[in-house]
Chains A and B, each alone.
Chain A
Amino acid sequence: MAYSEKVIDHYENPRNVGSFDKDDKSVATGMVGAPACGDVMKLQLKIDDNGVIEDAKFKTYGCGSAIASSSLVTEWVKGKTLEEAGKISNTEISAELALPPVKIHCSILAEDAIKAAIDDYKSKNTAE
């Protein structure tokens, strides 16, 4: 499969690989996908007191496009509010990375990961 230069760049030099403490209240964690389907994405956002994402980290098990999609998203969400980050759509991701049609599901997964992280943050911070 021929990948775009951007996918290869993110794959070979992934940005923001790593983890935050998932029990930290300022950390939002979204884990989506399934091993049997060949991709699992874990996206973590560190959110400051003003509701702005100050840092993001990811770990991904998946093909090159899945790794690139999650790496790209960690760059994009930084400095955004949760609301702004929630508006990032899979079409923007796939357009930026020039994903072929068979790899669109990777960008959908990245969008889902952001939404899952936001849900996690909300449930964590409204529980009490």
Chain B
Amino acid sequence: MKLPIYLDYSATTPVDPRVAEKMMQFLTLDGEFGNPASRSHRFGWQAEEAVDIAREQIADLINADPREIVFTSGATESDNLAIKGAAHFYGKKGKHIITAKTEHKAVLDTCRQLEREGYEVTYLDPQEDGIVTPAQLQEALREDTILVSLMHVNNEIGVIQDIAAYGELCRANKTILHVDAAQSAGKVDIDVQLMKVDLISFSGHKVYGPKGIGALYVSRKPRIRLEAQMHGGGHERGMRSGTLATHQIVAMGEAFRIAKEEMATENERLLALRTRLLDGLSDMEEVYVNGSMEHRVAGNINISFNYVEGESLVMALKDLAVSSGSACTSASLEPSYVLRAIGRDDELAHSSIRFSIGRFTTFEEIDYAVKIIRENIGRLREMSPLWDMYKEGIDISSIEWSHH
């Protein structure tokens, strides 16, 4: 077993060796290095064919038409193109946009930018389990709502939203629905015909493909128009100019093909691994799972270890590559905005750790992780004055703390 153990698959995944193998065939002189936009020779034709196949593989995973796939540099760019592109194109119809407080920064910051341009944005508050209910969306929809942007699976807490229900509501209201599916592709079934979604963002590197490539699904029926954010040679039907990165596109296609093929068996294995992890920690005191357990992807678990501060915990777990909900980088440190939005208090938000399990995680690694988590939580709690107070039965919220 190699240390540290990688348990941060929601941040990024290693490229699957099968994908890397494929990718390398599209780089060098003896490979297919041509520009897919070159129409006058076979180098271009071959590259174009490879891109077409990849486009089909991606469309296949979500039951879409290949002509509905636009390649971008990643999910952040896809989010920007979808939200700004739709808002700018349909801005004359209305200026109201709906999103949620637990969205990824690529969505939230893009919405902030649109606010500066004069759009009005409603930020929905999810329930305590992280779910945005269809009723909440229904209530927020207005006649002038041109766009709704809600994620499929949350990156921090792994909660799965009811996209099909959002789709019905948005279609009935003639509002465009954009979904960030960076964390759900290859983990949860996506069917654009059943879900009535207009725009979907995808990432390559969360699905064992390379970084620097992503895609945006743009519905043809109904036809969704976007104002381009990148201008140039008119690639990707004018929606995203720039020479297509053949090797990355081919790799993303292969990654999505594998995802479709192996998703069911992989999810079963991931769930068994996560159950082993949770079972190993379940008898510990003051341990809280953040977000719904019922509607959650198999590979994610987000846990708060009360009375232990997150950054020292990450330091203690140096043999585990995990993410902390706390970022102690300033005098007043900022806990995870996602956990705050679902109503977790600062202390629990600070003491949270996200474990994300993936294709190459083993049972041996999980067992080792359980062992070092238990040892170190115990050690840090022995060192924590808050743990002492808890043990003495003192209510920490009743104390007047001097906020510095």
User: What residues make up the interface of A, taking CB atoms closer than 8 Å to B?
Assistant: 1, 3, 11, 14, 17, 19, 31-42, 59-64, 66-67, 102-103, 105, 108-109, 112
- How many residue pairs link A and B with beta carbons under 8 A? The number is 91
User: What residues make up the interface of B, taking CB atoms closer than 8 Å to A?
Assistant: 307-312, 315, 326, 328-333, 335, 345-347, 350, 382-388, 396, 401-404
State whether A59 touches B404 (Cβ < 8 A).
no
State whether A60 touches B328 (Cβ < 8 A).
no
User: Contacts A34-B403, A39-B309 given: A14-B331 contact, CB under 8 Å?
Assistant: no
Q: How far is the CB of A121 from chain B (nearest CB, A)?
A: 18
A residues less than 8 Å from B310 (CB atoms): 38
State whether B315 touches A11 (Cβ < 8 A).
yes
Which 7 residue pairs of A and B lie closest in terms of their CB atoms, listed nearest first?
A: A34-B401, A36-B346, A63-B311, A42-B385, A59-B385, A61-B384, A38-B333
B residues less than 8 Å from A36 (CB atoms): 345-347, 401, 403
Complex Cα gap A41–B383 (Å): 10
Chain A's closest residue to B346 (CB) is A36
State whether A60 touches B383 (Cβ < 8 A).
yes
Q: How far is the CB of B308 from chain A (nearest CB, A)?
A: 7
| Choice from A3, A35, A66 contacting B401 with Cβ under 8 Å | A35
State whether A38 touches B383 (Cβ < 8 A).
no
Interface class of chain A by DSSP: mixed
Complex Cα gap A109–B347 (Å): 18
Q: How far is the CB of A13 from chain B (nearest CB, A)?
A: 11
**Can you show 15 pairs from A to B with CB atoms below 8 A apart?**
A1-B311, A34-B402, A34-B403, A35-B396, A36-B403, A38-B350, A59-B388, A61-B307, A61-B383, A61-B387, A62-B312, A67-B312, A67-B383, A102-B328, A103-B328
User: Contacts A63-B309, A64-B312, A105-B404 given: A31-B329 contact, CB under 8 Å?
Assistant: no
Complex Cα gap A85–B382 (Å): 26
Q: How far is the CB of B235 from chain A (nearest CB, A)?
A: 41
Known: A19-B388, A33-B402; 15 extra A-B contacts, CB below 8 A, are A17-B382, A17-B383, A31-B385, A35-B396, A35-B401, A36-B346, A36-B403, A38-B311, A59-B383, A59-B385, A61-B308, A61-B309, A61-B383, A61-B387, A105-B331
Chain B's closest residue to A7 (CB) is B315
A residues less than 8 Å from B387 (CB atoms): 61
State whether B315 touches A33 (Cβ < 8 A).
no
Complex Cα gap A1–B329 (Å): 9
A residues less than 8 Å from B401 (CB atoms): 33-37, 40
State whether A109 touches B328 (Cβ < 8 A).
no
State whether A102 touches B382 (Cβ < 8 A).
no
Q: How far is the CB of B69 from chain A (nearest CB, A)?
A: 39
Q: How far is the CB of B13 from chain A (nearest CB, A)?
A: 24
State whether B404 touches A40 (Cβ < 8 A).
no
Complex Cα gap A35–B309 (Å): 9
State whether A38 touches B309 (Cβ < 8 A).
yes
Chain B's closest residue to A3 (CB) is B315
Q: How far is the CB of A111 from chain B (nearest CB, A)?
A: 11
Chain B's closest residue to A59 (CB) is B385
State whether A37 touches B333 (Cβ < 8 A).
yes
